[in-house]
Structure 1
Amino acid sequence: MSETSDLILVARVAGAFGVKGEVRLTAYTADPLALIDYKTLLRKDGSAGLTVLSGRPDKRGFVGRVAEVETREQAEAMRGLELYVPREALPEPDEDEFYLTDLIGLTVVSAEGEPMGRVKSVQDFGAGDLLEIQPPPGSEKGAATWYLPFTKEAVPEVRLAEGKLIGVPPEEIE
């Protein structure tokens, strides 16, 4: 999940489903049916994107009807469109929980307190969440970002209130 100001990415149009204008969405929500509850999904710039009328879960995410699409061709033309909701539309996380977007901007330090960089983004290329880390200015790693798996072993502590997390890079990165 990534963030655009106070908009949170919740889905991406994956293409058409069937021949009657249904849209397939890749959902980034814990429950794909939450997209129905949000109803109006926004574009990255905050303008109206899609209005969800109905839908059902699918093995790849969510399939549904949206007000703006009537044909398969219109659905296909929207492929790749990222869809957002305002942060305040999301339920509050439980105590000791957070949204992945909350990690963006946190300082990354080693267990010894040495600065390792700042979380630039959270990515998932199919094998689990990865934190993209921007090294500190003037570090030996230069300007190249690197990835830290978001696992309990690699990130044993997240301290949101302090604006940091503890990182333990896998040996092959060190």
Structure 2
Amino acid sequence: MSGDTEARATRRVVLGRIAGVFGVQGWVKVFSETEPREGILRYSPWTIGEAGEPLRVLEGRAHGKGVVARIEGCNDRDQAALLVDREIAVTRDRLPPPSADEFYWIDLEGLPVETLSGIPLGRVSHLFSTGSNDVLVVIGERERLLPFVWDDVIRSVDFARPLIQVDWDPDF
């Protein structure tokens, strides 16, 4: 495994956050960004907070529009309250491989972006969703917001080169 590939494999991927406490026995309410929501429970152990230790999920389930979970070392409401508003993350290598036409956002971050005619636009800083499509934030000599629309704007993603080629006017 090359250094860059190894670094990507161990990067933190945020899957959700602790949204509140649930009951008095240390359970927490979880806001999950996985699909389906309760999929977050499959990724134990979780790293909670920026520099947290990995903690095992002892049990959990869908509850209403969210998820509730009991986490190792969290045995009462007071301990659960200390975790509220902290991110839930795992390392990238714990996620299943995406299918051929899918990408994890974290894998796109840092990749160089160029037009079909070879004009460099910068590197992917991050992505966000607008509801209708995802958007690449590309930072070069200036910031550009490129819709992640396959075949229309995004023409190729090559992790081996590494490079994202786009059909985009560099003056836009």
Counterpart for residue 163 of structure 1: 162
Which of 143, 146, 149 lines up with 1:148 in the alignment?
A: 146
TM-score computed with the length of structure 1 as normaliser: 0.72
Counterpart for residue 25 of structure 1: 30
Counterpart for residue 102 of structure 1: 107
Of 147-156 and 114-123, more deviation after overlay is shown by 147-156
What is the rounded CA distance, in whole Å, between the counterparts of 1:161 and 1:44 in structure 2? 32
Equivalent positions of 1:121-136 (< 5 A) are 121-124=126-129, 128-135=133-140
Q: Tell me, yes or no, if the aligned pair for 2:114 and 2:166 is still in contact at 8 Å.
A: yes
Q: 1:39-80 CA deviation, whole Å, 9 max, x = no partner?
A: 211146564254211112346542222233344454343222
Of 161-170 and 23-32, more deviation after overlay is shown by 161-170
What is the rounded CA distance, in whole Å, between the counterparts of 1:76 and 1:146 in structure 2? 40
Q: Tell me, yes or no, if the aligned pair for 1:107 and 1:115 is still in contact at 8 Å.
A: yes
What is the rounded CA distance, in whole Å, between the counterparts of 1:86 and 1:95 in structure 2? 21
**Percentage of matched positions with identical amino acids:** 30
Counterpart for residue 89 of structure 1: 94
Q: Tell me, yes or no, if the aligned pair for 1:4 and 1:44 is still in contact at 8 Å.
A: no
Name structure 2 gaps, 5 residues minimum. Answer: 1-7
For 2:103, give the aligned amino acid. F
What is the rounded CA distance, in whole Å, between the counterparts of 1:160 and 1:4 in structure 2? 13
Give the match's secondary structure for 1:161. coil
Q: How many equivalent pairs are there?
A: 163
What is the rounded CA distance, in whole Å, between the counterparts of 2:155 and 2:43 in structure 1? 33
What is the rounded CA distance, in whole Å, between the counterparts of 2:134 and 2:23 in structure 1? 31
Name structure 1 gaps, 5 residues minimum. Answer: none
Q: Tell me, yes or no, if the aligned pair for 1:35 and 1:52 is still in contact at 8 Å.
A: no
Q: 1:97-148 CA deviation, whole Å, 9 max, x = no partner?
A: 432211011111123221111001223466653322111xxx3x3xxx3432
Give the match's secondary structure for 1:118. strand
Which of 5, 9, 13 lines up with 1:8 in the alignment?
A: 13
Counterpart for residue 52 of structure 1: 57
CA RMSD between the two structures:
3.2
For 2:145, give the aligned amino acid. Y
Q: Tell me, yes or no, if the aligned pair for 1:49 and 1:83 is still in contact at 8 Å.
A: no
